[in-house]
Each structure stands twice: as C-alpha cells, then as structure tokens.
Structure 1
Amino acid sequence: MTDAVEFKATLTRYLKARVPFISIRSTERARVLDILREVAGNLSAPFYVHTLSQGTRELATGRVVNEDRSVIGAVDFASQQMAQRQNLSFVLTEVSDMEDDTASSRQLIDVVMLAADHGGSLVVVTSKPIFGQLQRLGMSAQLSAPNEDEMAAIIREQIDPYRGQFVIEWDDQDVARAAAILAGVSRLEAENIIATLLVNGRISKADMVELMSAKDRIFADISGIERVSVRSAEMTVGGLGGLKAWLQRERPLLTADLRERGIRPPRGVLLVGVPGCGKSLSAKAIAHDWQLPLYRLDLSTIHGQYLGQSEGRLKEALATADHVAPCVLWIDEIEKGLAGAGGNGDGGTSTRLVGQFLYWLQEARTRVFVVATANDVSRLPPELLRRGRFDELFFVDLPTAEERRDIIGIYARRGLQEGVLEEALLDELVEMSDGFAGSDLESAVREVVKEAYLRGDGVVNDELFRRSFQNVVPLSRTAPEQIEGIRAWGRERAVPASGEPIGSGITPATRPRRAVLA
C-alpha cells in the first residue's frame, strides 16, 4: 500500500466517523484537495473548501457559495452553516496562527464544537503544528511527499504518452532509479522536472545526472546544510584500497529497492585516523564517483545561545538532508560538534544533540549516505561507535610505501607538464617520505610545482624534488606518541582503510637536515 492510498483510507475513515476536527499535515495543497475530492465523491455529505484566491466553494463542482475570500469570512460562514445544517464538511487551506492559544485557535474550537453537535467535520490543511487543545478535539493525518512507487507512476504518466513520438530510452529499471532520485519532492515539482527533460525531444539514460541537478536546484536555498562543489580534476584518491573496495560493493544498494528484503540503504561510514591522510578528500571522491550531490553539515555552527536552539537547528539540517536525498552528507571533524556529551558544561545540549543525531542516523530511511570524519578519537561519544549507527568504521592511517608511490604520482601528473617521474627518483622519494601523511606529500610536490611555475619547467630536476621533500617535517616526527595513540585505538575498533594492518610498512627513519630551496 502506497502512502497516498493509506492516507486516503485513513481520511475516509475519519470522515465516515464524522470526526469533528481533522488536521492534514502536508505542503502539497493541490494533491490533498485531489484526494479529498475523490473521498467526497464516495460520501453523500456536502463538502466545501476555502482558498484565498477563490473564496468558499463546493469541492466537487467548484461553485462559489461565499464570495468573502478572507479566512475570517470563511470561518464565520462555516460557523453559520454548521449551526443550521447537518453533516457538513468544511476544508480550510489558508488558516494561520494556529500553533498557540490565539484568537484564531479559539474561534476554530467554537466551530469544531458546532461540528460535533451537528455531525459535521472541519478539515484544516497545514504544514505547521496545531494548538494542543484544538488538536485534541479531533484526529490528524499526514500526506508525505510521493514515495518511490508513487513517483514511478508519476514519471510513467509523464513520459509514456510520448514513447511513440520520440526516443524514450528509459526502461522499467531506469524509471525506478529516477523515482529513487526524485523521492522527497512534491508531485508538481516532479512533473516540472520531467517536463524540462521532455522539451529536449528525447529522454536518454544520461538524463539521470540532470535529474539530480534539477532536484539539487529545488533545495539549493534551504538552510541547514552547505552545498559543496566537487571538481573532477581533484577527485583522484591514492591508496585506501580497502575503503574503495567496500564502497564499490555498497554503491548499487544506495538506489536499489530494498524494501522487500527488509533492509535499509547504506547509511554511511565513519572515517577516523591520522590527520591529513585523506579523510575529507574521500568524502568528495565518494560523491564524485557515485554522481551524487555533496552537502556539508558543520556541527560547530549548530550550537545556539538559547535553550533548544541547537536541537532545532540540527533537526532542520537533517530534515534538509532528507529532502535532497539521494546525496552524500559530509560531517567534517564530527567530534568537535558533538564534544561534551555526558558533561554538564553546556546544560546537556551536547548530549541531546548526540541523541537526536543518532536517532536520525539509525531510524531515517532516506538515501542519505553520511561520511563523517574524526581526528581526535578520544572525544568521540561512545554511542557513536556502536554497531548499527554507521555501516562501517574505517581507520585511515599514514600511507604505506605503495600508497605513497601512488599519491606522489597523482600530484606530479596533476601539476607538472612532465608529470611522469623516473622509477629511480620515485623509489628515492618514497623512501624519503616514510612517515608522511597525504597532505605532507601534497605539500612537498606543491613546492616543486611552485618553482616550475615561477622559474619555468626547466628547473624541475631530481635535486629539487629531494630538497622539497627534505623540508617537510611530518606530524609523525613531531608528535609520534599522538600517532601511536591514534593507531592503538584504531587497531581495536576499526577496519583499516588501506586494506593492510594498521601501522604496517611504516618505520621511523632518520631525518636529513632541512635545506633551503634555491
């Protein structure tokens, strides 16, 4: 049973039972009225609907019964009719100021009491909370955005009539994938997106990328999370073979229909480990490889000065992520945003944020793939590490010799005209860079690239590379105890992202004296 069918059945029961007050939570007024029109056709009781543009009219025929277009006029008209006639149903679509004990709420309570005495129903369509005393007089129903089954039917309604007129490359599998992409948008928004594809005179499989972009533009101005632009030229990640293999296996599950199997789509990974070893870059690479939009949630900006403000901001941000799904949600240095859980320094705010985030992480069924990174593992809340939160916990260690070779080659090819290094030099640089993080390798090669730009590519030689690498003092040299502490934590709790045992192939070496680049 789809969500719309279930909503229609629930609404029919409420109206047949003559529940005096029915609140419908939805942002799709037109879709709600279409369903109400179907329900009213099966019931003998008269239905009236009010909108600001057309006043009060019969729901079935559209005939105007009260020309006063104001909400106050509509409520007064409903009150008069309820007092004189039996079994009337009034639908209000533009009522505001119902969240608290206000004059509007009190007036609606009076109308509901009249409806209860005369077998009527007052139906309110809104996307906001309703004053508790008013809501307790009746029942509520929620019409969510079309689910994947409904979205697939909407897509077919739009494209099937054109199959004989021009090329439609989408088969049933493509329609299902498109439905998964568009899940979370309204029916009207989906129809608009498909219409923009149809005007091209064909629909190809490559249009899936445009679907994601179109959905992204719909939610581009929604607050809570930041859209991150991903440039293809920077998305090559060296090493991390274990992480890459796991991601390749999980990728098809993100858009597959897993409901019959009773499992949820992949929820995400937590990347912990040595700073500067590619955790943040991995989040960008995943979004690029999976052709999904990337959004960044900065938990440090969530905290507010007023009670409940932080929780409200986090709820809004996570709801935004649900709306823009499927997507990759990057949470950088998650330990900083959730630090303090269990303490009393912030009045329990951090503890409540952790609870709210973990509940969403475990219970939400939207296709949001979370990539969270952490450097200071000692500050991670224990609840975050429990199985069932993230799909996997990976430890990103200092790159091994083979990974360093890969990373040096990537940066050299990206920045230098003669980007292919000789094997002998590459072997020497790999040995010199023992203990380097990925960011250290990038910094060393960047110095060579700078010199090539400032003085010409002719200055690039083996000695320039050697001096550049000698001038890097990595964290593994300045704070070896910190690195070993991080590794000891990872050995007990995490899967190595490289596919090799944590700490393997990395040995301390004597550092040569730093040299000034000439």
Structure 2
Amino acid sequence: MAAVAEFRQGLLRMLKARIPFISIKSIERARVLKVLEELAGEIGIPMYVHGLSHGTRDLKTLKTVHDDRSVAGGLDFAVQNIGQRQNLTFVFTEISDIEDDGMLARHLYDCVLQAIERGGSLCVLSNGRGIWPQLQRLGMTLTLDPPGEEEMLTVVRECVEPYRGQIPIEWSEADFRLAATILANMTLVEAENVLATLMAKGSLVKADLQELSRTKDRLFSDISGLEKVRAEADTLTVAGLDGMRHWLGQQRQLLTADLKARKLRPPRGMLLVGVPGCGKSLSAKFVAASWNLPLYRLDLASIHGQYLGQSENRLKEALASADNAAPCVLWIDEIEKGLAGATGGNDGGTSTRMVGQFLFWLQESSAKVFVVATANDVSRLPPELLRRGRFDELFFVDLPSEAERADIIDLYIQRNQLPVPSASMREQLVDMTEGFAGADLESAVREVAVQAVINGDAAVTDGLYAKSFSNVVPLSRTSPEQIEAIRLWGRERAVPASGQPIAVSTDRPVGARRGILI
C-alpha cells in the first residue's frame, strides 16, 4: 500500500512536471486536499478546488472564485483560466461517469488537451472508479490508501497525547502500537472518531483496546465476499492439540511484533488437514477467540460465478476486503472443494486461475491476516498449495488419543452441566471410544444431555452414559480404509497437531515424522 509520504512525493513530482491530467484514487477527500494544499504552498503554484456544494474555491484561502457548482461549469471555468494564465491547477472532487466514452469524459478530454498547451493541470479524485482509457493515457494515476500502521501510530499519538494529564491514560508505548495495528486501514476520520469516543468517557485504559477491535469489526461486518462469524472466548475450548496450541502461542507474538528490521512478514496462517470431525473448524474459531481478533469465513464455493472472470474478481475483492479488515483471522473451510477444479476439473480453467490468485495473495500480502484453512480430502488439494512458504505450517489433526478423549469427554460433560460419571465408568468410556472423533464424542454426550432435559438429572446414570456411547458408530469403523489412508498421508507430510506421533496400522514403510520447533 502507498504510504502518505510516498503519495506526497509522487504527487509533488507530477505537479512540478505539470502532468496535464492526474487521477487520484482515494476515499478520503479531506486527506488528499490537505496534501495538495501543502504542496501548493511548497512549490508556489495557484490551486483551485471544485465541489458540488461550493463551486470553485481557492484551495489556500477557501474563497469562492466561481459559483457554478456543476462539473461542466467548473471545467469550462478551468479551461478559460488555464488559457489566460500559466501553471494553474484545478482539482475536481466530485466527478463521475468518466469510466467510459461519454459526454462528460469527452468534455474532460478536451479540457486536458487545452491544459497541455498552457502548462495547466487537472486533478480528479476518482474514488477508485475507472477512467476512460483514452483520457487516462493523457496523464498519470496515484493512489492514496488509508493510513497504514506507521502513519496510524502518529495519528493515535496526536489524538491521545494532548489529553495526558487531563484524563487518566494507561496506555504504554506497546499499547499505542497495538492500537495503531488495530486501526490500520481505517480512514483517518474513522480512526479519529473512534479514539475521541473512547476518551469522551474520561479515561483511556488497557481494556479499551478490545473496544477498538469491536468497533473496527462492526465497520467491516458486511464486507464483500466474506461472512462474519462469532467466536466467543468464554464458550470456545479446544481439548488436546497441544502441539498446535504451543505453535499458535508463538505466532501470536509475531502478529504484534515489529518485524521490519528482520525483513519478516507477519504470520500467514496454517493449513489443517486430517480426519473429519476432529476439531479443524473449531480450531479457526479458537484462534480468533483466544487472540481477540474478528473472524471472517471465506466460502470459495459460493464465490464461483457463471461468467468468465467473475469468480476471479469476486475472490480478489474478498481478499482485498480481508486486507482492509486486518488484523483478523480468515477461515477457509474445506478449501479443497473450492479449488477442486484445479486438480483436473472441467471448469474452463477458472479454478486454476483462482488458485494462482489466492497463492499470489498468500505470498505477497503484507496485511496481518492469519489464514486458517481446513481440508478433509487431501487428494483434491492442488500440489502448489502444499509447498513450503505458502502457509507457515501444515498440521494434521488425528483421531484423539486416550488422554485427549478423556479431556474431550470431560469438556462436553462440563459444558452441558451433566452429573459426572463414576471414575470406573469414565475409564470405560475412554476405552470404548477408541477410534472416535471429537464430533462422535460430542454426539454421545449430547444424547445424555437430551435425556437430562427430558427426565431430569436423576436419569443420568453410568448405564445411560454406557448406552449413549455404545450407540455411536464412528467414521473410523464405517470407512476404515479412508481414515487409514488419511492418517498415513498425515504421518509422512504434516506436523501432528497433538504434538504426538500419528499412529497408523499399516506395514507400509513411512518416512521420518515432521515436527515443530519448540
């Protein structure tokens, strides 16, 4: 993204070079005009700004020089004055309908041609819209993105420091940086409004950082192509998966650390593959809840459109929206379904192009978006997605071990507020659930909870636990070959999320087990 300093420098060169047509892409008109006002004084050139509410005004004095508020009238006034005086610059803040070959676009084109002869310059705030190609070739384009972390850090300090001594301010330097990270990619006005609202209560405490996250979350709750998912920290717990949780603890530190000195990018995320029903999707919610970050779900299957290029454009917009919402967690559930066509499907190459676009973003984006992608059928994953450097780590989520099954059973019993079975029955439940996935264990405990609701807690006995658990037939028994193949793949290619070796009941020789750095 273009920092304001880079934008300012680029615009300064264009004005000095008297580029006849300058297209500025930005959604922050006031921020652009402030830069233009500073540059007008620096290089000593007259500059005027036209708006639909006030006509044409001198940018420095804000005095109205022409009352006609229409764009056509403003253009005629500009050309008239450019023809009489050298090196005039006119800025049009509210101009539209110049994406295609139309009346206004041709009017502007003719004005630019006359500006070329007199050293004049016409600047247009395009607000991200396109420009008629024939018109655009007469000039150049600049983009002013919303403030990044460094610029936002300055904004936070300028908003907060003047009130130090007047109200209690608990924020340390680390808190200021975290606030800048949270507010990054919001507009300047949005950030100033949020900070002013926080300080209006008479203090600024560390807990207000969570309010910053919630405020930004509300602003981006309906962004294009993404679905907001609620992830409450007090209701989400992941039993087992100790290896993955330890690794996540390290990545959390990297997400807020200053990595520029070491030329490192922020953590990109992890790919979770493994046995269905073992907590892969729950892990995405767990990351967002424990890190206190908003969670967005990207459904690649729903992005597919019926027209050529539509799917790729939708994916590009969704990923750009995720960048703007950063820092956040981006959850891509069953990623192999959305990209299945890339491994031999007949979709005209759409999936292949989407894979390329997604991998490019995964590799090049510097936004603090932590991706949690899950997959069940690893055979349908494009090979390039598994290459090192795409995701930070590839975890395999296996069937829970004996100790993990005990923890999961205890977790669901506690969550459903059920009477605890006897110690001997608990051991029996752990033994009889060999091969159960986490979802199978949840289903068994749920049956007990249903009976507790219908008949009361008195009906919850060791016998009811034994009966409910024995009624569940896990996938590892209905499709043992499928599960064994998945586990064998994970044993050779992925890091076990549990931190323990992946068990396989096959005589086929396997390679060395991968591990994570502790």
Bin for the TM-score computed over the shorter chain: over 0.9
Structure 1 distance, partners of 2:371, 2:205, is: 29
Q: CA deviation at 1:233?
A: 4.3
Q: CA deviation at 1:505?
A: 10
1:280 matches 2:281: yes
1:298 paired residue number: 299
Assess if the C-alpha contact under 8 Å between 2:222 and 2:228 holds in 1.
no
> Within 5 A, what are the aligned runs for 1:422-441?
422-441=422-441
1:43 matches 2:43: yes
> Within 5 A, what are the aligned runs for 1:66-77?
66-77=66-77
> Within 5 A, what are the aligned runs for 1:24-103?
24-103=24-103
Could you tell me which amino acid in structure 2 is paired with residue 19 of structure 1?
A: I
> Within 5 A, what are the aligned runs for 1:415-426?
415-418=416-419, 420-426=420-426
> Within 5 A, what are the aligned runs for 1:202-351?
202-343=203-344, 345-351=346-352
1:510 paired residue number: none
Segment of structure 1 superposing worse, 101-110 or 28-37: 101-110
Q: CA deviation at 1:29?
A: 0.7
2:484 paired residue number: 484
Assess if the C-alpha contact under 8 Å between 2:271 and 2:394 holds in 1.
yes
Q: Give 3-state SS (helix, strand or coil) of 1:56's partner.
A: strand
Q: CA deviation at 1:309?
A: 1.0
1:135 matches 2:136: yes
Assess if the C-alpha contact under 8 Å between 1:342 and 1:348 holds in 2.
no
In structure 2, do the counterparts of structure 1 residues 64 and 393 end up closer, same or farther at CA, with 3 Å as the change threshold?
same
Q: CA deviation at 1:417?
A: 4.0
Per-residue CA deviations over 1:182-203 (Å, capped at 9, x if unaligned) read 1110110000110110111000
Q: Give 3-state SS (helix, strand or coil) of 1:373's partner.
A: strand
Structure 2 distance, partners of 1:2, 1:301, is: 31
Q: Give 3-state SS (helix, strand or coil) of 1:65's partner.
A: strand
Q: CA deviation at 1:343?
A: 3.6
Assess if the C-alpha contact under 8 Å between 1:2 and 1:149 holds in 2.
no
Could you tell me which amino acid in structure 1 is paired with residue 411 of structure 2?
A: I
2:353 paired residue number: 352
> Within 5 A, what are the aligned runs for 1:116-131?
116-126=116-126, 127-131=128-132
Q: Give 3-state SS (helix, strand or coil) of 1:317's partner.
A: helix
Per-residue CA deviations over 1:155-204 (Å, capped at 9, x if unaligned) read 11111111111100112111011001111101100001101101110000
Structure 2 distance, partners of 1:158, 1:2, is: 23
1:21 matches 2:21: yes
1:163 matches 2:164: yes
Structure 1 distance, partners of 2:276, 2:433, is: 16
Q: CA deviation at 1:344?
A: 6.0
Q: CA deviation at 1:342?
A: 5.0
Quick one: percent identity of the two aligned structures?
Answer: 62
1:187 paired residue number: 188
Runs of 5+ in structure 1 lacking a partner?
Answer: 507-518
> Within 5 A, what are the aligned runs for 1:431-510?
431-503=431-503
Structure 2 distance, partners of 1:256, 1:99, is: 42
Q: CA RMSD in A?
A: 1.5
Per-residue CA deviations over 1:290-323 (Å, capped at 9, x if unaligned) read 0111111111110111111111111111111111
Structure 2 distance, partners of 1:222, 1:279, is: 25
In structure 2, do the counterparts of structure 1 residues 342 and 430 end up closer, same or farther at CA, with 3 Å as the change threshold?
closer
1:513 paired residue number: none
Q: Give 3-state SS (helix, strand or coil) of 1:42's partner.
A: helix
Structure 1 distance, partners of 2:317, 2:23, is: 22
In structure 2, do the counterparts of structure 1 residues 407 and 159 end up closer, same or farther at CA, with 3 Å as the change threshold?
same
1:109 paired residue number: 109
1:176 matches 2:177: yes
Q: Give 3-state SS (helix, strand or coil) of 2:370's partner.
A: strand
Q: CA deviation at 1:135?
A: 1.6
Q: CA deviation at 1:449?
A: 0.8
Structure 1 distance, partners of 2:450, 2:188, is: 52
Structure 2 distance, partners of 1:233, 1:32, is: 43
2:514 paired residue number: none
Per-residue CA deviations over 1:453-475 (Å, capped at 9, x if unaligned) read 11010111111111111100000
Could you tell me which amino acid in structure 2 is paired with residue 107 of structure 1?
A: H
Assess if the C-alpha contact under 8 Å between 1:2 and 1:150 holds in 2.
no
Assess if the C-alpha contact under 8 Å between 1:277 and 1:437 holds in 2.
yes
Per-residue CA deviations over 1:16-35 (Å, capped at 9, x if unaligned) read 11111111111111000000
Q: CA deviation at 1:83?
A: 2.1
Q: Give 3-state SS (helix, strand or coil) of 1:261's partner.
A: coil
Assess if the C-alpha contact under 8 Å between 1:401 and 1:505 holds in 2.
no
Structure 2 distance, partners of 1:145, 1:434, is: 53
Q: Give 3-state SS (helix, strand or coil) of 1:79's partner.
A: helix
Q: CA deviation at 1:223?
A: 2.3
1:509 paired residue number: none
Segment of structure 1 superposing worse, 270-279 or 338-347: 338-347
Assess if the C-alpha contact under 8 Å between 2:185 and 2:324 holds in 1.
yes
Assess if the C-alpha contact under 8 Å between 1:400 and 1:505 holds in 2.
no
Q: CA deviation at 1:10?
A: 1.2
Segment of structure 1 superposing worse, 449-458 or 215-224: 215-224
Q: CA deviation at 1:103?
A: 2.2
Per-residue CA deviations over 1:199-234 (Å, capped at 9, x if unaligned) read 110000011100000111112232211111123443
Per-residue CA deviations over 1:411-450 (Å, capped at 9, x if unaligned) read 01111343x4433221111100000000000001111111
Runs of 5+ in structure 2 lacking a partner?
Answer: 507-518
Assess if the C-alpha contact under 8 Å between 1:168 and 1:204 holds in 2.
yes
Segment of structure 1 superposing worse, 472-481 or 496-505: 496-505
Structure 2 distance, partners of 1:344, 1:326, is: 34
Per-residue CA deviations over 1:470-512 (Å, capped at 9, x if unaligned) read 1000000000000011112112211110111112699xxxxxx
Structure 2 distance, partners of 1:97, 1:485, is: 58
TM-score normalized by the length of structure 1: 0.95
Assess if the C-alpha contact under 8 Å between 2:2 and 2:145 holds in 1.
no
Q: Give 3-state SS (helix, strand or coil) of 2:83's partner.
A: helix
Assess if the C-alpha contact under 8 Å between 2:2 and 2:143 holds in 1.
no
Assess if the C-alpha contact under 8 Å between 2:225 and 2:318 holds in 1.
yes
Assess if the C-alpha contact under 8 Å between 1:409 and 1:421 holds in 2.
no
Per-residue CA deviations over 1:351-402 (Å, capped at 9, x if unaligned) read 1111111111111111110100011111111111111111001000100111
Q: CA deviation at 1:129?
A: 2.1
1:400 paired residue number: 401
Structure 2 distance, partners of 1:344, 1:463, is: 50
Assess if the C-alpha contact under 8 Å between 2:243 and 2:496 holds in 1.
yes
Structure 1 distance, partners of 2:234, 2:116, is: 66
Structure 2 distance, partners of 1:325, 1:255, is: 12
Could you tell me which amino acid in structure 2 is paired with residue 148 of structure 1?
A: E
Assess if the C-alpha contact under 8 Å between 1:394 and 1:497 holds in 2.
yes
Q: Give 3-state SS (helix, strand or coil) of 1:265's partner.
A: coil
Assess if the C-alpha contact under 8 Å between 1:21 and 1:137 holds in 2.
yes
TM-score normalized by the length of structure 2: 0.95
Structure 1 distance, partners of 2:106, 2:2, is: 36
Q: Give 3-state SS (helix, strand or coil) of 1:177's partner.
A: helix
